[in-house]
Structure 1
Amino acid sequence: MSDPILQVARRVGVVVARVLLYLVLWAGLALLFAAVGIRFQWGEISVNQMLLNLVSVETDGGGGSLVWIGILLVGVLPLLITGGVALGQHARRGNRRENLRRDDDARPRRSSWVGRTVSTVLVAAVVVGGTTAFGSAVGMRDYIKAANSEYDLGEYHVDPTITSDEQKRNLVLIYLESGEATLADDQLFEKDAFASLKDATKAADGWRSIDDLQQYRGGGWTMAGLASTQCGFPLKGGGPAASSGSPNELGNDADSYLGGATCLGDVLEEHGYTSVFLGGANASFAAKETFLRSHGYSAVKDLAHWRAAGEPVTSFRSDWGLSDQRLLARAREEIDALHAGAEATGEPFNLSILTLDTHEPVHVYDYCQVDTQNELTSVFACSMTEVAGFVDYMEEKGYLEDTAVVIMGDHLKHMNASDDFHEQLDDHPNRTIFNRIWVPGTTGDAGDGALRPGVDQLNLYPTVLEAAGLTLKDRQAGLGVSVFTPTVPDGSAQAMEPGPYGDLLDSRSADFYVEAWATEDTAP
């Protein structure tokens, strides 16, 4: 009785071992192909970017074909290869059994042992290689290291306290997709891509800028740029302890995004502002609309809105959305209506705009005339010309007399394997973010003092609040300190030395993010 049972157990064990081997092979291939895709499309990213961004891509106006390429590369192709290997191995075993029946020689048994050893080694190599490559592509080592950090964001984060809104004014925020100031260097590039916008925002006319504005450590994608400048802390996941508003559910119609945090739109709403967002892409991408509506924005106008509004097909690019030319034309209509409403009601508005044309891969809209060898240089210049035209329009209409304007890049230009400008940017010592700030009543001759230089994006949160005319206690919000003050309060995160400050931004700060991602239903 024992022999049949032993044979059955042995056969079951062999089948289970083979299944596990194929599952491990599939996982190794999926990780390897994912790593290759990430490196090619985004360069090196972070675990947080992967969790908060890649899980909520959209096939329509949020990456387009990249979604299907990802599915084929990471889902289908590893499965097909694994299935092919399994079928090949099954055929080999069938041939070996047939040979054994014909010739009871010991050599096939030795050959079988060698074959299994080689197969196991190859599978192990794929698994180790895939895991290592994927871990490197998403910065897994840094993510694990951050879990053991001695720092906690909660010890430095400051909820904004508004002491007066008597001077509150209208606000326009313009985020420039991949708006890196380095591209203005006509010694590195074929021409200054920001020339037209710089001409429309001259220091002599009262426009100011933050010298050496830095991307915050750990940032580098659009939602990180929006959240950092409007909430004042690094965008990270809340982990499994977070509420139903956690990033793990952002792709499933979550109704809250950083619901436990007080961000720009929340403060403005509390002080009577109407906040409207305009963007050319699908606002569902990376849960952008959820973030905005969670924080005081009453209207979010995106790809679907522009289609319904009758924009012609030629105004769109299939992978992302509406051109900057048409977006800024629509922005003229929007600010006309908002400004008229503000004059009628006495309550201000916040109009936030996110450009699109400069998002890679390069796409040249019909309105843009390419006059450079590298098309992207011309695309950047065309986009900035449209933004400059909108600034000129605001000035012509007299809106700059009662409206603050903050123009800034959302992040540095991506540098992945498929992107342009590696020669100019890979080894550049100081890549910075383009920015311009207009506060009514400021003139070039009067000069209210230089803005504090060398800060990162987290300092834009209190800066924008002050630009809007709100008086801010201690001039702090989030981890930032307004750039309108040259001094930094003792005990602020901005008073830390660069090394510890970087460690603070890297820290996992689990309790802080659990609270930040909480909703009303889950808040303590």
Structure 2
Amino acid sequence: MKLLKCILLKLLAAVETTLLLISALIAPLLFFSVQWMFRTWNHLSMDELVFHLQSPLEGTNTEMVQEYLSECLAPALMVFLAVVIVAVVSSKKKWRYRYFSNGVILTALLLVAGGSIYTTVQKLDVDGYMESKGSYSEFVDTYYVDPADVTITFPEQKRNLIYIFLESMETTYADQENGGAFRENVIPELTEIAQENEDFSGESEELNGAYMTTGTTWTMGAMFAHTSGLPLNISIGSNDMDTQDHFFPGIFTLGDILENEGYSQTLLIGSDATFGGRRLYFTEHGNYDMVDYPYAIGNGMIPEDYYVWWGYEDHYLFDFAKDKLRELSRQDNPFNLTMLTVDTHFEDGYVCSECQDAYGDDQYSNVMACSSRQLDEFLQWIQKQDFFEDTTIVLAGDHLTMDSNYCEDVGGDYERKVYTAYINAAVEPEVLKERTYTTMDHFPTTLAALGAEIDGNRLGLGTNLFSAEQTLTERFGIDKLEQEMQKKSGLLEELAEIDRDTESLKVREGRVPTATVQVGTYSYTQGLLPVTVIDIENVEAGVQSIQIAVWTQEDQSDLQWIQLENMGDGSYSGNVNVAASGYRTGEYQIHAYVVDGNGEQSVLGTAVGFVE
């Protein structure tokens, strides 16, 4: 009997100790992670979280990774160590004391974990999200206007378009006198630009911007809404942006329309266009030329080892844009240059060599002010060029800032909106009143600004703001619109559907690009892991380039993209910079991608490297 009791006590002790150690590792990490997540993304939504968990990252900001390690992992490990010490000390006590002590600690840890999960569920409104995703609305199906079925008539002399997505730019940053919410205007140049041009504020001098809705509150969602008139609000699991060949194949977008009208189109950004599905979307809808961070490296625009913030900073972006505009303006056909700034991304933005210290320790205000100045200088340069007379410029904030505390003093009654300015438009507003609109209204409004006549003045869920036609926001109110955007739409799912039968056929017929990815031995002296891609087959129209995506973390938080070099014998080689992953030991996941002669990107193969 004593032996049985002894065995049971030891078994109970082993189970309790195991539960204690597992809880001691998970509970504090969960607690600190949840606190950090909501400090960093104080307006995080479930739609955005789900999208980024299942699609390529928009870029890798190593500062944010380091911040997570120091603010979440480090204190969690300290708590874990403390629990281990207590467990070791209590193991030398009598079994009743040991079980009581460990039981109290285990209960506390479980309460912490449960509280963290509860906080996450409440703040993200997971219940509401699940309810809305479980119910269908006929709103999108009823009010969607298919651009493919609308007569759009362009003028004989077509105008050029420069469309600049302004990262995290709000009307909020202006002073209260000019329609903002700040005591001091940190974007004075942008304020003046909007006032002197068109932001649909009617006769008022106060800035007027666009509302966001569910599915448009992060960069890719915003770019999609501006150019398609739709929210990116579907089950992302059926549209994994890095593994599929299509991005909403059933829609007709701004890029599609301009391509049909003979426009040359370029996407110029300072990060990797693959992140978030941007490369896939803009190549499929408009056949845009991609001038991104890897392109800049590959074409000698910046040094091979240059990498800051999300790639390269905005003063390079504007310099490259000037060179590109000189090139585009010499061609016979009209052009669309679409750009995305990045220095004003959270947290606190990136301080470049052009930034001043006008706001002391308020780094984000200094960065916002710097962006405002650089944009003004860029616009002044454009206005001096011969092509400006026939060019329309759109400045549009992509979404509200995700910075955790920059707008914490803004009153709850102030309606935050993203920045808007239409410059040198071909038309004037038909009504001089303040318009209420969302970022989806930019789609038809941009075409109207180019002088195109749109039958009915509506495309997608958007309305031409130069017309007298009511927007859906004016008709139903922003609250109603937001409520409907949170629900499922049968039409959206139909438009986003991927032709899996076609993909299966390609696999069966052996038309899917393949290759062998070989990983060499890690060089301790150089900190490099060599990778070679050989036996490349089924690549249509030849190989343009081959890249590898490399990461060690499950969430791909240390993801790096590496352009491989053509060795001239049919193989491509390069090296993984292990230092970029903090010299982490263990497995390195490696996926190889090819861009074929048609500009299409496909997965070639995968491999696993080891650093010991």
TM-score for both structures, normalised by structure 2: 0.69
CA distance in 2, matches of 1:499, 1:362: 31
Q: Does 1:192 align with 2:177?
A: no
Give 1:457 shift: 1.0
CA distance in 2, matches of 1:454, 1:504: 17
CA shift digits 1:296-344 (9 cap, x unpaired): 242122223334454567x977222333222112111112222222x2x
Q: Which amino acid aligns with 2:151?
A: T
Which piece of structure 1 moves more, 430-439 or 511-520? 511-520
Aligned pair partner of 1:408 in 376, 383, 396: 396
Q: Does 1:166 align with 2:154?
A: yes
**In the superposition, relative to structure 1, how do residues 352 and 310 fare at CA in structure 2: closer, same or farther (>3 Å)?**
same
CA distance in 2, matches of 1:438, 1:451: 18
% identical aligned pairs = 21
Aligned pair partner of 2:459 in 472, 477, 483: 477
Which residue number corresponds to residue 109 of structure 2? 123
Contact 2:168/2:397 (<8 A) preserved: yes
Q: Does 1:460 align with 2:457?
A: no
Give 1:149 shift: 4.4
**In the superposition, relative to structure 1, how do residues 281 and 495 fare at CA in structure 2: closer, same or farther (>3 Å)?**
same
Which residue number corresponds to residue 485 of structure 2? 505
Unaligned runs of 5+ in 1: 97-107
CA distance in 2, matches of 1:372, 1:72: 27
Which piece of structure 1 moves more, 267-276 or 68-77? 68-77
Give the helix-richer structure, 1 or 2: 1
**In the superposition, relative to structure 1, how do residues 336 and 323 fare at CA in structure 2: closer, same or farther (>3 Å)?**
same
Which residue number corresponds to residue 529 of structure 2? none
Contact 1:480/1:494 (<8 A) preserved: no
CA distance in 2, matches of 1:264, 1:451: 26
**In the superposition, relative to structure 1, how do residues 163 and 512 fare at CA in structure 2: closer, same or farther (>3 Å)?**
closer
Q: Match of 1:53, SS?
A: helix
> 1:230-245 alignment to 2 at 5 Å?
230-240=227-237, 242=238
**In the superposition, relative to structure 1, how do residues 13 and 164 fare at CA in structure 2: closer, same or farther (>3 Å)?**
same
The structure with higher relative contact order (CA 8 Å, sep 6+) is: 1
CA shift digits 1:51-74 (9 cap, x unpaired): 223665769x53222135446766
Q: Which amino acid aligns with 1:397?
A: Q
Contact 2:163/2:338 (<8 A) preserved: yes
Which residue number corresponds to residue 66 of structure 1? 64
Q: Does 1:431 align with 2:442?
A: no
CA distance in 1, matches of 2:168, 2:393: 19
Which residue number corresponds to residue 518 of structure 1? 497
Aligned pair partner of 2:278 in 283, 288, 305: 288
- What number of residue pairs does the alignment pair up? 487
Aligned pair partner of 2:262 in 261, 267, 272: 272
Give 1:196 shift: 2.6
Contact 1:43/1:414 (<8 A) preserved: yes
CA distance in 1, matches of 2:494, 2:13: 49
Contact 1:283/1:289 (<8 A) preserved: yes
CA-based RMSD of the aligned residues comes to 3.7
Q: Does 1:51 align with 2:30?
A: no
Contact 1:57/1:67 (<8 A) preserved: no
**In the superposition, relative to structure 1, how do residues 201 and 95 fare at CA in structure 2: closer, same or farther (>3 Å)?**
closer
Contact 1:156/1:493 (<8 A) preserved: no
Which piece of structure 1 moves more, 453-462 or 188-197? 188-197
CA distance in 1, matches of 2:378, 2:259: 25
Q: Which amino acid aligns with 2:452?
A: L
Q: Does 1:371 align with 2:358?
A: yes
Q: Which amino acid aligns with 2:145?
A: V
Give 1:379 shift: 2.6
CA distance in 2, matches of 1:72, 1:375: 21
> 1:340-355 alignment to 2 at 5 Å?
340-341=330-331, 343=332, 347-355=333-341
Q: Which amino acid aligns with 2:476?
A: M
Give 1:45 shift: 0.4
Q: Match of 2:483, SS?
A: helix
Unaligned runs of 5+ in 2: 202-207, 504-612
CA distance in 1, matches of 2:31, 2:38: 11
CA distance in 2, matches of 1:4, 1:311: 76
Q: Does 1:331 align with 2:316?
A: no
**In the superposition, relative to structure 1, how do residues 148 and 521 fare at CA in structure 2: closer, same or farther (>3 Å)?**
closer
Give 1:469 shift: 3.5
